[in-house]
Chain A
Amino acid sequence: MSLHTLTVAELAAGLRARQFSSLELTLHFLGRIERLGPELNAFVTVTADRALDDARRADESLAKGEGGPLAGVPIAHKDIFCTDGILTTCSSKMLSNFVAPYDATVVERWRAAGTVLLGKTNMDEFAMGSSNETSFYGPVKNPWDPRRVPGGSSGGSAAAVAACLAPAASGTDTGGSIRQPAALTNLTGLKPTYGRVSRYGMIAFASSLDQGGMLTRSAEDAALLLKAMAGFDPRDSTSVDAPVPDYGAELATPLEGLRVGIIREFFGEGLDPAVGKRVQDAIEVLRANGASIVEVSLPALPLSVPTYYVVAPAECSSNLSRFDGVRFGHRCDSPRDLPDLYKRSRGEGFGDEVKRRIMTGTYVLSAGYYDAYYLKAQKVRQLIAADFARAFGEVDVVIGPTAPTAAFELGAKTSDPITMYLNDIYTIGANLAGLPAISIPCGFVQEGGKALPVGLQLVGPHFAESRLLSVSHQYQQLTDWHRRVPDGYA
Chain B
Amino acid sequence: MTWETVIGLEIHAQLATRSKIFSGSATAYGATPNTQANLVDLGYPGVLPVLNGDAVKMAIRFGLATGSKIARRSVFARKNYFYPDLPKGYQISQYERPVVEDGSLEIVLEDGTRKTIGITRAHLEEDAGKSLHEDFHGLSGIDLNRAGTPLLEIVSEPDLRSAKEAVAYMKKIHTLVRYLGICDGNMQEGSFRCDANVSVRPAGQAEFGTRAEIKNLNSFRFVERAINYEVERQIDLIEGGGKVVQETRLYDPDKGETRSMRSKEEANDYRYFPDPDLLPLAIGEDLIESVRTTLPELPDEKAARFVRDFGLSEYDAGVLTASREMADYYETVVSRLGGSAKLAANWVMGELSGALNKENLDVTGSRVGADALAGLLVRIADNTISGKIAKEVFEAMWSEGAAADAIIEAKGLKQITDTSAIEKAIDEVMAKNPQQLADYRSGKDKLFGFFVGQVMKATQGKANPAQLNELLKRKLGG
Contacts and interface: CB of A to CB of B under 8 A. Distances in A.
B84 A234 contact: no
A365 B78 CA distance: 11
Nearest to A200: B48
Contact of B45 (A98, A317, A338): A98
Contacts of B82: 321, 324, 342
Interface stretch (A128-136, A203-211, A289-297): A203-211
A322 B46 contact: no
Interface string B86-117: 01111000000000000000000000000000
Interface string A70-101: 00000000000110000010100001001011
A101 B279 CA distance: 27
Contact of A102 (B39, B142, B279): B39
A326 B45 contact: no
A314 B46 CA distance: 18
A234 B22 CA distance: 12
Interface string A186-216: 0000000000000111111011100000000
B273 A237 contact: no
Interface in A309-333: 314-315, 317-318, 320-324, 326-329
A320 B51 CA distance: 21
B46 A327 contact: no
Interface stretch (A113-121, A252-260, A366-374, A412-420): A366-374
A366 B271 contact: yes
Chief secondary structure at chain B's binding surface: loop
Main secondary structure of the interface of A (DSSP, over half): loop
Given A207-B276, A365-B80, A365-B273, A236 B48 contact: yes
A370 B89 CA distance: 19
B271 A362 contact: yes
Contact of B42 (A199, A315, A327, A370): A327
A244 B87 CA distance: 35
Contact of A88 (B43, B45, B89): B45
- Which range holds the interface residue count of chain A? 35 or more
A201 B46 CA distance: 4
Contacts of B49: 237
Interface string A394-425: 00000000000000000000000000000000
Given A102-B39, A324-B89, A237 B46 contact: no
Contacts of B272: 365
B279 A238 contact: yes
Contacts of B48: 199-200, 235-238
Contact of B276 (A95, A100, A101, A315): A315
Given A322-B88, A367-B271, 12 more contacts: A98-B45, A100-B46, A101-B44, A238-B276, A238-B277, A318-B89, A318-B271, A320-B89, A327-B43, A338-B84, A342-B82, A374-B273
Interface of A: 81-82, 88, 90, 95, 98, 100-102, 104, 199-204, 206-208, 234-238, 314-315, 317-318, 320-324, 326-329, 338, 342, 362, 365-367, 370, 374
Interface of B: 39, 42-51, 78, 80, 82, 84, 87-90, 142, 269, 271-273, 276-279
Smallest CB-CB A-B distances: 7 pairs: A321-B89, A365-B271, A207-B276, A208-B276, A201-B46, A322-B43, A203-B45
